[in-house]
């Protein structure tokens, strides 16, 4: 039997192609070629750009014919692509009118929001070529990893001992005595240490692709980076600079091997995910992806076209728009199914409860969707139940019996008690007993109890300093909170 869709219908400059499948979004390998699919409600036209790895200029620019657009989706199958060496992006045309929320620019080359791997920052701290107009490029991933029968561990919530971990910091110091410091590969060499601590779950600070050179600067002769990763460039792609094999485009397999090895040793892996904003920032930020693809759909905008900033980082994703909601769901499903992730901790999760005007909803459709999704049914869902816009929901985050919360009141109560605030004794008893006063009708599993985290003082600082002392980063000690209760 001959499949009709395995043959081209169009040709341009020796590149053969035909109308593609609208789903799944992104770049996916199909018989004889690669299917490219991308959404834009307001674009008037779209071009696909194909590059040989590392080259500044595309070897092919293919406009999507009108008949290749179904609804708001452009799709195309391109034949005879070497998916291991090709990089790709898009150009969108449309109205440029920021007051109406439109930022289309036909000259900007845009990253696919569904790219499963991204080039441009393959080696941590390697200075990028800023003359390259296309900094973050989509790569095509062939999912053929051998999981060897692995599956998520399903450790009960009440039994979790969670270690919050920065992938690079955890093994970067020479005392770690690992072969590839600061990488996914290095983490597997520290399993015995974690097990000695009694750890059965690690929660990785953001590992979605981000740009360590975002807002990078030299302070006292030292290069300072965007180190924490809370500024996502691509939601589906692991940070290549965290992989010892990133320069060889093997970050996907290296990350999967780390997860499989941790599972084999009884340790779950939870990801800290940032869906509240992106690395594109405010009106002065760069074009990377969403801004040029469909700014008005992806971001929360004021009536005069400016970005609502409930994240404190310049923009806020329009999370309860049906398209954006489905993108977030697709992302989490992908990480749960393709990477065997055990759960997710949602940064500034209260933003996910805001409507398109920024007002909080009692039953946010996104949170309900995630709570009841069939593919995510065994994943832990953990909310940082506040945001930078003043919305504080600790104890009453919409849960549907599924969502747990970082219990900031547990943190504050324990700290105050330990430093001698005797009036905290009654509160301390409530927190240790499971904070039933806060989580009425919910089990104590709703409370993720912690004393320190990546925000504010470390545990060492907590017993060493009365006041914060962030002086080495050149921000005049203005960053971070002042209420550390140390």
Q: What is the pTM of this model?
A: 0.96
Low-confidence ranges of the chain (pLDDT < 70): 1-2
Three-class DSSP labels, the chain: CCCHHHCCCEEECCEEEEECCCCCCEEEEECCEEEEEEECCCCCEEEEEEEECCCCCCCEEEECCHHHEECCEEEEEEECCCCCCEEEEEEEECCEEHHHCEECCCCCCECCCCCCEEECCCCCCCCCCCCCCCCCEEECCCCCCCCCCCCCCCCCHHHCCEEEECHHHHHHCHHHCCCCCCCHHHHHHHHHHHHHHCCCEEEECCCEEECCCCCCEEECCEEECCCCCCCEEEEEEECHHHCCCHHHCCHHHHHHHHHHHHHHCCCEEEEEECCCCCCCCCCCCCCCCHHHHHHHHHECECCCCCECCCCCCCCCECCCCHHHHHHHHHHHHHHHHHCCCCEEEECCHHHHHECCCCCECCCCHHHHHHHCCCCCCCCEEEECCECCCCCECCCCCCCCCCEEEECHHHHHHHHHHHCCCHHHHHHHHHHHCCCCCCCCCCCHHHEECCCCCCCCCCHHHHCCCCCCCCCCCCCCCCCCCCCCCC
Q: Output the pLDDT for position 475.
A: 86
Q: Output the pLDDT for position 1.
A: 56
pLDDT in tens, 88-143: 999 999 999 999 999 999 999 999 999 999 999 999 999 999 999 999 999 999 99
Which of the residues are catalytic?
347, 384
Q: Output the pLDDT for position 4.
A: 72
């Amino acid at each position: 039997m001959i499949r009709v869709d395995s043959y081209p219908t169009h040709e341009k400059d020796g590149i053969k192609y035909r109308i593609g499948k609208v789903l799944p979004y992104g770049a996916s390998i199909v018989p004889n070629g690669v299917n490219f699919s991308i959404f834009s409600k307001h674009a008037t036209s779209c071009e696909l750009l194909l590059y040989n790895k590392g080259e500044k200029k595309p070897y092919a620019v293919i406009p999507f014919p009108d008949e290749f657009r179904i609804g708001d989706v452009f799709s195309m199958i391109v034949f005879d692509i070497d998916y291991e060496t090709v990089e790709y992006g898009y150009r969108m045309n449309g109205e440029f009118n920021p007051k109406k929320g439109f930022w289309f620019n036909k000259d900007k080359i845009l990253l696919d929001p569904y790219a499963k791997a991204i080039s441009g920052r393959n080696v941590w701290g390697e200075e990028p070529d800023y003359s390259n107009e296309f900094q973050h490029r989509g790569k095509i991933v062939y999912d053929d990893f051998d999981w060897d029968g692995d599956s998520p561990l399903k450790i009960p919530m009440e039994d979790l001992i969670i270690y919050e971990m920065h992938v690079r910091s955890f093994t970067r110091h020479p005392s770690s005595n690992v072969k590839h410091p600061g990488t996914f590969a290095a983490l597997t060499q520290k399993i015995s240490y974690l097990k000695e601590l009694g750890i059965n779950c690690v929660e990785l600070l953001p590992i979605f692709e981000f740009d360590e050179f975002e807002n990078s600067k030299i302070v006292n002769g030292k290069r300072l980076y965007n180190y924490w990763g809370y500024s996502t460039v691509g939601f589906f792609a692991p940070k290549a600079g965290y992989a010892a094999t990133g320069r060889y485009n093997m970050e996907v397999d290296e990350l999967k091997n780390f997860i499989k090895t941790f599972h084999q040793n009884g340790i779950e892996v939870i990801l800290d995910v940032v869906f509240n904003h992106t690395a594109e920032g405010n009106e002065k930020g760069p074009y990377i992806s969403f801004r040029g693809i469909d700014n008005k759909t992806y971001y929360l905008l004021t009536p005069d076209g400016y970005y609502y900033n409930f994240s404190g980082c310049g923009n806020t994703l329009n999370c309860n728009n049906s398209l954006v909601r489905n993108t977030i769901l697709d992302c989490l499903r992908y990480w749960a199914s393709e990477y065997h992730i055990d759960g997710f901790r949602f940064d500034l999760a209260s933003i996910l409860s805001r409507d398109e005007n920024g007002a909080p909803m009692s039953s946010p459709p996104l949170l309900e969707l995630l709570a009841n999704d069939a593919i995510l049914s065994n994943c832990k869902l953990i909310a940082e139940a506040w945001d930078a816009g003043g919305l504080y929901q600790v104890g009453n985050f919409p849960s549907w019996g599924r969502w747990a919360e970082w219990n900031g009141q547990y943190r504050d109560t324990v700290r105050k008690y330990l430093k001698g605030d005797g009036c905290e004794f009654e509160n301390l008893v409530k927190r240790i007993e499971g904070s039933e006063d806060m989580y009425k009708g919910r089990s104590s599993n709703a409370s993720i109890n912690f004393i320190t985290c990546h925000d504010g003082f470390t545990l060492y600082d907590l017993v060493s300093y009365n006041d914060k002392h962030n002086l080495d980063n050149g921000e005049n000690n203005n960053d971070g909170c002042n209420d550390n209760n140390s």
